[in-house]
A = this chain, B = another copy of it.
């Protein structure tokens, strides 16, 4: 069966100038993949040039664009023909197996949820993305979709994250940890304590608390947290990495001697840079929906956006959705959680 990815070509800080070349490159690197490019035809057509006749590429016109700072509620209500909405519609109708957008996160979340609907047994979507660790990477969720979570939601995140890793990385029983703080007196707030109990009682491979530094130590394959804490941890990491990188750069640019040193150390520095290149980690999956919707960083460049397309493609190819749904159905006899009572 062919795997088709719909791409919101108009989203992101750079729009088609990044999304179209990334799509063309992706097709070249994935000979079995099909792409549906969504956006204003008059803008996309010239960028595609001769590629327009590629049988693995389809162009779908959408007249509107969701602005990066537009209110998600308004985008949902008023922009029925936006490239974002049309790309998501293609997933809903089965014409695509997943969609990717570098557009406004809140709008992508709201429209994905409205169009695709939630999986049975899941109350809220969660944003899940990989982060590098000393020995590979970990998946963390939620990274910003839900600011307040009940313990049951954190359990659902654990299940969805574990199924994602199981499907995409072929790990049968990925380890699941809960983000917490380590002080003796005050180990976590009430929600985290209760969520840990639920996770401990589930059939997941739950390893207990992971502190902030444990994320990068690779202590668990999946780390669950509420979206407020997850978003702060993610953005704090981005900020620190940026500061360190720019400081290292400026230290090496200080004078001709240090510039010479940089020249000599260039291969080392490039290896280092490549390993932790945030572009490699671009592409967060919105989990919990009846369809795969992937969010790229708004500022993504071609390489970075290409990785987001790859993530959507891998998720579709590896049947992440079926895996999560299967796990939820399996527990539907013994109900997953009593969220109604929360």
Contact = CB atoms under 8 A, between A and B. Distances in A.
Contacts of A227: 181, 186
A265 B267 contact: no
B190 A148 contact: yes
Interface residues of A, number: 74
A247 B235 contact: no
A225 B302 CA distance: 36
A332 interface: no
Q: Indicate how many identical chains form the complex.
A: 2
Interface in A251-292: 251-252, 254, 258, 260-262, 264-265, 267-269, 271-272, 275-276
A239 B212 contact: yes
A184 B71 contact: yes
Does more than half of chain A's interface fall in helix, strand or loop, or is it mixed?
helix
Nearest to A193: B147
Contacts of A73: 185
Interface in A230-244: 231-244
A83 interface: no
A123 to B, nearest CB: 15
Contacts of A246: 134
A69 interface: yes
Given A251-B268, A264-B260, A232 B235 contact: no
A181 B232 contact: yes
* Candidate in A145, A181, A254 with the most chain B CB atoms within 10 angstroms: A181
Interface stretch (A52-60, A105-113, A160-168): A105-113
Contact of A106 (B105, B185, B189): B185
Contacts of A181: 144, 147, 227-228, 231-232, 235
12 contacts: A73-B185, A106-B184, A179-B232, A181-B227, A212-B234, A215-B236, A229-B229, A232-B232, A232-B233, A240-B240, A240-B241, A258-B267
